[in-house]
Amino acid sequence: MLRHIQRRLLPLAAACLYTLISQAQTDIDAIMMNRNQFCAGFQYNHSSWDQYWEGTLKRENLNIGTVTTQSVAVMGNYGITKKLNLLFGLPYVFTKASAGTMAGQQGIQDGMLGAKWKAFSHQSGKNKYALFAIGGVSAPLSKYTPDFLPLSIGLHSKQAFLRGMADYQRGKFFTTASATYLLRSNVDIARTAYYTTRMHYSNEVEMPNAWTANLRAGYRTSHLIIEAVADQINTLGGFDIRRNDMPFISNRMNATNLGLNIRYEPRWLKQVSLTGGGMRTIAGRNMGQATAFYGGVFYIFQFGKKATTTQTR
């Protein structure tokens, strides 16, 4: 089913000083839908911070108080076969600050389409092994303003990602590890010049690419998953926020997050999945020290011949 808070961001890609979800979550877990199954639902996400890293210096910004980002996302996962799934995600995002005069933004953020392939699986006694390849693209679906961090709802960059993932399960306990490369397009902003480490007389901003690593481990059955998560995102380039300056979309953005996720399928509610969890940023660079939580509800629709099980791993 669908789970994990990321920060789609990003995952798949985190914007500076706040956490967003821009992807359906099964692009980063080892759960697959069977052929002709469609899992879809809604998820609410909440993230806030009142301290951030200006470069490597951790500080408080009393001018804007607590920055809060909320989103409601529709997400889905369709089983082409039991080894090939198609994924989508679309969030509507709200931002606000508790102090100062900067107004928050709201609107549709970036839509994501992806594919997930189980390339290898093997079972030996109680031990199960699986390898996955996941790829996808995302693009802005509204004309939101990216050059308004930390209250912009996104970076307005077209993105493509490729992820490799390995999963090991023994009995009811599992470990999943993945690494992702994220390719990002340049972004146009509404000014004719800007300064990074030098002056640029252009409205086009060159965006650094990024990589992420994710490790999760926990307890997994067909009706209950409880997992601890460690997540790292690093941009491959960019520059630090200057002292007492506002963040910029091409800043270096690094973050280390720890979290907990739960997915539960009540036996008395057939085909329904409930998800929840939280995450905390414990280290960062040009990022807010965010505390985030989420909750969602999803339903599995069966098309064609009914599968013998609702999911495969």
Q: Distance between CA 30 and CA 167 in Å, rounded?
A: 6
Give the pLDDT of residue 27: 85
Q: Which domain holds residue 239?
A: 25-312
Residue 178 has pLDDT above 50, yes or no: yes
Sign of the CA dihedral 85, 80, 226, 164?
negative
User: Which range among 61-65, 171-175, 181-185 shows the weakest confidence by mean pLDDT?
Assistant: 61-65
Please check whether residue 282 lies inside any domain of the structure. yes
pLDDT at residue 206 above 50?
Answer: yes
Amino acid at 44: Y
Q: What total of structural domains would you count in the chain?
A: 1
* 10 belongs to a structural domain: no
| Entry pTM | 0.89
- CATH number where 125 lies: 2.40.160.40
pLDDT of residue 129: 98
For residue 19, being part of any structural domain is answered with no
Average pLDDT over residues 172-187: 98
Query: Does the pLDDT of residue 20 top 50, yes or no?
Result: no
Angstrom distance (rounded) from CA 128 to CA 169: 5
Range 235-257 average pLDDT: 95
- Is 74 domain-assigned? yes
Q: What is the pLDDT of residue 233?
A: 96
What's the token pair of residue 252?
A: 């270096």
Task: Summarize pLDDT for 45-60 with one digit per residue, the tens.
Answer: 999 999 999 999 999 9
pLDDT per position as a tens digit, 143-159: 999 999 999 999 999 99
pLDDT at site 311:
55
Q: What is the pLDDT of residue 87?
A: 96
